């Protein structure tokens, strides 16, 4: 089967209730979320963010991920041709199923962060046998 040719995905900017004081833009990372029997996995693409500049928090069942771009790398560079905007990344999700919050793990590789949110024991599906 021929593989699909990739197209550029336009970045979506975060719509915030408040304006931020700093002028930098913030974009929504493209995200995949899938669920297995053991865990909920959230995969986000944040190119340019290294593991020093990423913050993951869970508060009141809201998962927030913040990735910051180190703009100092662009110092001394004069743009001559640009196709995309560079900005920070931020996105948050309301978690529906019960998550074991102490066991959340995050792994950042090649600009892709993978969050594994293990389900709490009581939220895992149980097989009930009919006696």
**Please, are residues 8 and 78 in contact by the beta-carbon 8 Å criterion?**
no
Beta strands at 112-118 and 62-67: parallel, antiparallel or unpaired: unpaired
Smallest gap from Cβ 19 to other proteins, in A, equals 19
Q: Residue 50, interface with other proteins (CB under 8 A)?
A: yes
| CB contact set of 33 (below 8 Å; sequence gap of 6+) | 40, 41, 42, 43, 93
Smallest gap from Cβ 15 to other proteins, in A, equals 16
Sketch the per residue contact string, 67 through 106, with other proteins: x for CB under 8 A, - otherwise. Answer: -------x-xxxxxxxxx-x--------------------
Smallest gap from Cβ 60 to other proteins, in A, equals 20
What are the tokens at 126?
Answer: 């149980």
What are the tokens at 125?
Answer: 């599906």
Binding residues (CB under 8 A) for other proteins: these are 3-9, 30-37, 40-41, 43, 45-50, 74, 76-84, 86, 108-112
């Amino acid at each position: 089967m021929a593989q699909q040719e990739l197209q550029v995905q336009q970045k979506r900017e975060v719509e915030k209730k408040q304006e931020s004081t700093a002028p930098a833009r913030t974009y929504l990372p493209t995200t995949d979320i899938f669920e297995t029997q053991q865990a909920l996995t959230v995969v986000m693409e944040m190119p340019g963010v290294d593991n020093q500049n990423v913050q993951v928090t869970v508060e009141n069942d809201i998962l927030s991920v913040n990735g910051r771009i180190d703009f100092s790398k662009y110092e001394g560079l004069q743009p001559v041709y640009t196709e995309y905007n560079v900005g920070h990344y931020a996105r948050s999700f309301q978690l529906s199923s019960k998550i074991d919050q102490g066991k959340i793990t995050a792994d950042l590789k090649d600009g892709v962060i993978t969050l594994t949110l293990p389900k709490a024991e009581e939220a895992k599906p149980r097989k009930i046998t009919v006696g």
